[in-house]
Amino acid sequence: MSQNSAPRYPLVLVPGMLGFIRLVFYPYWYGIVEALRRGDAVVFAVQVSPINSNEVRGEQLLARIDEIVRETGAAKVNLIGHSQGALTARYAAAKRPDLVASVTSVAGPNHGSELADHLHRHYPHDSVRGRLLTGLLRIVSALICWLDTGYRGPKLPVDIHGSHHSLTTEGVALFNQRYPQGLPESWGGHGPEEVSGVRYYSWSGTLQPGKTDRGRNLFDGTSRYCRLFARTFVRERENCDGMVGRYSSHLGTVIGDEYPLDHFDIVNQSLGLLGKGAEPVRLFVEHAARLNAAGL
């Protein structure tokens, strides 16, 4: 990405559930922030509650956006959200479209996740299995907060039940009633390109066959987990990245929905150990140029 293709407004990267900025030395957006900054883009990787509802995370993001516009002098920001981070970004844009130039959903469960539906059915929060899962998530969340060397703000609240409900098909349907900006009118279609002055984009991946080609590498452990998670899917079992369905991810202008990338590889969380045809960093660099071309 050349200097002339850097976006006009800062890029704000919003992580998904159990997200972080940097665990000790390991960044959530592995290699992506550096690649964008090499093209002179102004980039902020931010942190919100690792486990909480879309609305709570969205309010935290709005507070961070206020800080960024004051710090940079920019009038607006471009939001790029991974997984639940996409819903977080959508909330912020719906509430303060004057501060947001664009929202980009990267593997966002914009119509809910069938994995969350499966957990809701088989691990209800008031059951023994549900309480065990809740305990495990509390431990993981606490570890993330403790090990996140990229975040220096106040302690962030945790709401496991609120987070889980925010990701189910039913929960996201309620969220979409309140904040429909960018959503397609028909299943699998494109949504409006612009709403209230905010541009909407999305891209996502799908699990591919084979072990070393088209996005799966023998040293890429996340692919094994995602293939296991994919077994919980019904409607989009053959069209998902392990955690989010191909068509469920659609928002605004759909840049692509069949990239050979699982839910973690799409933000390069496998230390770059990806198979043939998988280039997640390139997708972000190209998108920065796309935002620049749109005057954003």
How many Å separate Cα 63 from the centre of its chain?
19
Let me know if 263 is a catalytic residue. yes
Max CA separation in the chain (angstroms)? 56
The active-site residue out of 111, 164, 165, 263 is 263
Check if the beta carbon of residue 125 is closer than 8 Å to that of residue 131. Answer: yes
The active-site residue out of 241, 257, 262, 265 is 241
Let me know if 83 is a catalytic residue. yes
Neighbours of 176 (CB within 10 A): 17
Q: Whole-angstrom Cα distance, residue 17 to residue 156?
A: 13
The active-site residue out of 49, 53, 82, 83 is 83
User: Residues with catalytic annotation?
Assistant: 83, 241, 263
